[in-house]
Amino acid sequence: MTLKPVSDPTFDTVSLYASDRWVASSLGRTVDWLRKHKPELEVAGFPPADPITGMRIKADVIAWVEQRRRVPDAASRSAVRSADSRNQSGARFHAF
């Protein structure tokens, strides 16, 4: 269970924007760590803050983390297997 800081409405599920506190918490880090590592995160394509709100879009942060995954989930593996089987079937067909 994640505790929502009373003073940070971005922890609400309806909020689409994320404060630095939300972002750091989502990464399992502190706000100080997030600020210290901002340059290297930006080099790695971490989403910048929105210029109007000054906050990051939660979906962008989540997408960045998911993009860095190294082990695909079951749905991804299934899609890869399905595509591979179609490609192999076509290769066998064209071989004759």
Q: Which two tokens stand for residue 4?
A: 């929502």
Kindly tell me the sign of the dihedral angle through the C-alpha atoms of 66, 67, 68, 71.
Answer: positive
User: pLDDT grade, residue 67 (50/70/90)?
Assistant: very high
Give 8-29 pLDDT, tens digit per residue: 999 999 999 999 999 999 999 9
Give 18-61 pLDDT, tens digit per residue: 999 999 999 999 999 999 999 999 999 999 999 999 999 999 99
How distant, in Å, are the alpha carbons of 73, 78, 80, 85 from that of 90? Answer: 26, 18, 15, 9
Q: Does residue 87 carry a pLDDT above 70? A: no
d(CA 81, CA 91): 15
Write down the pLDDT at residue 72.
73
